[in-house]
Structure 1
Amino acid sequence: MGKVIVLTGAGGVLCSTLAIALAKEGHKIAVLDLKIEAANKVAEKINKDGGIAIAVMANVLEQESLDRARTEVHKRLGSCDILINGAGGNHPLGTTSQPYLQEKDLLNLEDGFKTFFDLDPAGIKFVLDLNFIGTLLPTQVFARDMVGKQGCSILNISSMNAFTPLTKIPAYSGAKAAVSNLTQWLAVHFSKVGIRVNALAPGFFLTDQNRTLLTTENGELTARGRMIIEQTPMGKFGEPEDLIGTTLWLCGEGASFVTGVVIPIDGGFSAYSGV
């Protein structure tokens, strides 16, 4: 029997792929995104292919927006059985220009050049809020539907940054570490009411947010992109479809005794020492 699945950030590359895959399994999909145009495109594709989906505008940082989204989901699909917290991202104001601090960097007056000392607290707060609060608030809103029902679960999106922080992006690394920690905390907290909570930790996937950092305009790898591929034993970036199998498993009855885990999907990146 199909379940009602709510996905936040579902207008993006990764979560739209998950939404489409879950719809093919017979589930009813609520495509939540701040950009309603993106959500509409995903929902339209699912419905065109014979699935059931609705697009709902939602800001994961605003309680009232999420409450309205929940009301709409209830009205059109029913109460939520599975929540996938896919909203997240980084911000340039929380990113350093270089991976390592050199003394000469303190004298660099180039426009836009940022050392650790130049990081903008507002940018850092934005990243922490988007990833951590943007996971916590939707869980507060939609997990209420799951209490007392069978087969309910929450799937968060962490990152390889949560295991070992990457250079240049301290805010994003810290935020995703918080998401992993929250995943474990929620798994314990909800264990007596039958809600499982797990997370995916994607490795390096090309998305709209990181494409310009990892590839050039002509599709060649940047220096950072080459470094990542060299550290990934499988020698390639992940494809959105690589997340589907683990998602279906964690959201299904086959993982009925699995909770509190954060699973790397990274082509071996986390297993490789570099030697």
Structure 2
Amino acid sequence: MEGLGVFDLSGRVACVTGAASGIGEAAAETLAAAGAAVVLGDIDGDGADRTRDRIVDGGGRAVSRVTDTTQSDQVSALLAAATDEFGRLDVMANVAGVGSYGDVVDVTEAELDRVLAINFKGVFFGCQAAMRVMGPQGSGSIINVSATAINTPVGGLSVYAATKAAVAMLTQSLAVEAGPIGVRVNTIAPGFTLTNFVGGHLRDAEGQVDPAEMDSYLKLMRDRSPLGEVCDASDQANLIWFLASDASRYVTGQILRANAGQSITW
């Protein structure tokens, strides 16, 4: 396969968690535009349905399921929807995740458990369920989502960064296990990306953000980039597309970064 054809996903089936918004939403729409049938999971069922409807209205193939990724049976059911609806599974994108802010001394056990469950266990369950389908097929690409926070320690992000570091190591360990049976496993490590995650630490008790504070924060993020830019969800979705496609057929166990260079200057 030559030229742009290596990016063609026609005939393939992709599952995306966190598909109701942000990077997951962008990834689902990008993979569908490349020709894949997509299965969308999110705890926000209405949001996942909206993503599905846009894909279908645009001529793509998509189904959506309410999925709490902290529950292994629900993740398994989501992948069963892929094989039931479309007959196979070629791509598993474990995108669902949450932010967490607070100094170590202030983090409650409940918050620790919440973030570990979503950011690490949810990815683990997605990998596990995907391997049970892809292993017998002898092919597939698993794509996880880590973060630039694994490279650049920042106070107040300890729990978030720790879970994303765990995702990176899970990815590399699984790549060693999965390679001999034809399955590739990689992770993207987004830098600051304009999604609904943005400014979580700036929100007050009612979830509101002062516009001036947000503008100052965005300027700080741009100033920390050699490009003077911040990423949006499509930048991360394009990396997921690359890892889903034959353009990356010899890429496994890697951490790919779209972060406008933040991790080299922070």
Following superposition, the deviation at residue 89 of structure 1 comes to 1.0
Q: Match of 1:84, as an amino acid? A: A
The separation in 2 between residues aligned to 1:249 and 1:67, in whole angstroms, is 25
Which of the residues 171, 187, 209 maps onto 2:159?
A: 171
Following superposition, the deviation at residue 220 of structure 1 comes to 5.8
CA contact (8 A) 1:151 1:253 kept: no
Following superposition, the deviation at residue 222 of structure 1 comes to 5.2
Matches within 5 A, 1:11-22: 11-22=20-31
Q: SS at 1:265's partner residue?
A: coil
Which of the residues 63, 75, 90 maps onto 2:99?
A: 90
Q: Which residue of 2 aligns with 1:228?
A: 221
Q: Match of 1:172, as an amino acid? A: Y
2:91 is equivalent to residue 49 of structure 1: no
Following superposition, the deviation at residue 79 of structure 1 comes to 2.3
The separation in 2 between residues aligned to 1:260 and 1:142, in whole angstroms, is 16
The separation in 1 between residues aligned to 2:107 and 2:81, in whole angstroms, is 39
Which of the residues 227, 230, 234 maps onto 1:241?
A: 234
| TM-score between the two structures when normalised by the length of structure 1 | 0.85
Following superposition, the deviation at residue 64 of structure 1 comes to 1.9
Deviations 1:15-43 (A, max 9, x none): 11111111011100001111110100000
Following superposition, the deviation at residue 170 of structure 1 comes to 0.4
Q: Match of 1:245, as an amino acid? A: N
Q: Match of 1:145, as an amino acid? A: V
Q: Which has the higher contact order (CA 8 A, sep 6+)?
A: 2
Q: Which runs of 5+ in 2 are unaligned?
A: 1-9, 204-208
2:257 is equivalent to residue 269 of structure 1: no
Q: Match of 1:149, as an amino acid? A: Q
CA contact (8 A) 1:81 1:145 kept: no
Alpha-carbon RMSD: 1.9
Q: Which residue of 1 aligns with 2:177?
A: 189
The separation in 2 between residues aligned to 1:63 and 1:245, in whole angstroms, is 28
Q: Which runs of 5+ in 1 are unaligned?
A: 97-115
Which of the residues 26, 29, 33 maps onto 2:35?
A: 26
Q: Which residue of 2 aligns with 1:7?
A: 16
The separation in 2 between residues aligned to 1:244 and 1:9, in whole angstroms, is 12
2:153 is equivalent to residue 144 of structure 1: no
CA contact (8 A) 1:233 1:267 kept: yes
CA contact (8 A) 2:99 2:200 kept: no
Following superposition, the deviation at residue 231 of structure 1 comes to 1.2
CA contact (8 A) 2:39 2:81 kept: no
| TM-score between the two structures when normalised by the length of structure 2 | 0.88
Following superposition, the deviation at residue 11 of structure 1 comes to 0.8
The separation in 2 between residues aligned to 1:6 and 1:224, in whole angstroms, is 33
The separation in 1 between residues aligned to 2:106 and 2:80, in whole angstroms, is 42
Q: Which residue of 2 aligns with 1:99?
A: none
CA contact (8 A) 1:204 1:237 kept: yes
Following superposition, the deviation at residue 126 of structure 1 comes to 1.3
Which of the residues 209, 216, 219 maps onto 2:197?
A: 209
Distance 1:190 1:150, change over 3 A: closer
The separation in 2 between residues aligned to 1:232 and 1:246, in whole angstroms, is 19
How many residues are treated as equivalent by the alignment? 252
CA contact (8 A) 2:23 2:237 kept: no
Q: SS at 2:113's partner residue?
A: helix
Q: SS at 1:66's partner residue?
A: helix
> 1 or 2, which has the higher helix percentage?
2
Matches within 5 A, 1:19-168: 19-92=28-101, 95-96=102-103, 116-149=104-137, 151-168=139-156
CA contact (8 A) 1:148 1:194 kept: no
Q: Match of 1:56, as an amino acid? A: R
Q: Match of 1:38, as an amino acid? A: G
Q: Match of 1:258, as an amino acid? A: V
Distance 1:173 1:38, change over 3 A: same
Deviates more, 1:55-64 or 1:40-49: 55-64
Q: Which residue of 2 aligns with 1:106?
A: none
Following superposition, the deviation at residue 207 of structure 1 comes to 1.9
